[in-house]
């Protein structure tokens, strides 16, 4: 009886429309109106100082005016969002909308915008005696410095092709 309740609970959670999926900025355009997490690399920021509401725009993966995805933070929400990263990868959670042909998510708090984390903080010494981050799962998006994604889903930070992802099923794709 307990096992069947667990299965039913898992099924309901998996089919829930409230669960957000994680997407790349390029995939966002195919998921308009959906609640999702979109991750990408910051390539530009601009604040419309003279505009009503003082919006700040973070462009991901393609610079303005050809951006693939925009994160919008209204001036009234800046304090709740907190410090906005200037570089690196970020993830934004919310409903994907379309504004002037570009998919966007409007963030309202610090839980809506975050820097994706890694599943571990282990390092190893490579053949050049450099400290390199061990393969790790990402909390969303491709982490900075990753050079390959392994077949088990982890990201490698290897600086040489030989041996990359050797304990993780091999290389699925080079980044």
Choosing from 114, 136, 152, the residue where a domain stops is 114
Per-residue pLDDT tens over the stretch 66-109: 888 999 999 999 999 988 888 888 889 999 999 989 999 999 99
- Is 7 domain-assigned? no
- Is 124 domain-assigned? yes
Same domain as 128, residue 86: no
**What's the pLDDT at 71?**
95
Q: How many domains does the chain have?
A: 2
Tokens 């993780």 correspond to 168
40 near 90, Cβ under 8 Å? yes
Same domain as 128, residue 73: no
Question: Angle at CA 89, nearest 5°, toward 84 and 92?
Answer: 65
Same domain as 86, residue 164: no
Same domain as 71, residue 152: no
In this prediction the pTM is: 0.63
- Is 5 domain-assigned? no
- Is 14 domain-assigned? no
- Answer whether residue 165 shows pLDDT above 80: yes
Per-residue pLDDT tens over the stretch 135-144: 999 876 778 7
Per-residue pLDDT tens over the stretch 114-163: 887 888 888 889 999 988 999 999 876 778 789 999 999 999 999 999 99
Distance CA 81, CA 172 (A): 35
Choosing from 82, 114, 146, the residue where a domain stops is 114
Same domain as 132, residue 48: no
**What's the pLDDT at 61?**
86
DSSP lists the bridge partners of residue 156 as 148
For 128, the domain range is 117-175
Same domain as 130, residue 110: no
- Answer whether residue 10 shows pLDDT above 50: no
Choosing from 90, 114, 138, the residue where a domain stops is 114
Cβ-Cβ contacts under 8 Å for 60 (sequence gap 6 or more): 25, 38, 40, 41, 42, 43, 67, 68, 69, 70, 71, 90
- Is 66 domain-assigned? yes
Same domain as 97, residue 123: no
3-state secondary structure of 126: coil
Q: Indicate the pLDDT class of residue 2, thresholds 50, 70 and 90.
A: low
Same domain as 173, residue 133: yes
Per-residue pLDDT tens over the stretch 17-42: 444 578 888 899 999 999 999 988 88
Task: For residue 94, give both structure tokens.
Answer: 């919310």
**What's the pLDDT at 8?**
40
Same domain as 144, residue 163: yes
Same domain as 169, residue 97: no
């Amino acid at each position: 009886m307990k096992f069947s309740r667990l299965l039913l609970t898992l099924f309901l959670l998996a089919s829930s429309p409230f669960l957000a999926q994680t997407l790349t900025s390029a995939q966002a355009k195919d998921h308009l109106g959906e609640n999702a997490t979109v991750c990408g690399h910051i390539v530009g920021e601009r604040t419309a100082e003279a505009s009503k509401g003082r919006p700040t725009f973070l462009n991901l993966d393609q610079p303005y005016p050809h951006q693939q995805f925009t994160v919008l933070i209204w001036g009234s929400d800046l304090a709740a969002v907190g410090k906005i990263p200037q570089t690196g990868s970020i993830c934004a959670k919310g409903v994907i909308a379309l504004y002037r042909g570009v998919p966007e998510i409007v963030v309202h708090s610090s839980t809506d915008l975050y820097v994706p984390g890694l599943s571990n903080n282990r390092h190893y010494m490579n053949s050049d005696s450099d400290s390199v981050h061990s393969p790790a799962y990402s909390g969303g998006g491709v982490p900075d410095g990753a050079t390959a994604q392994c077949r088990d889903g982890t990201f490698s930070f290897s600086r040489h092709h030989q041996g990359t992802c050797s304990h993780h099923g091999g290389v699925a794709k080079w980044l």
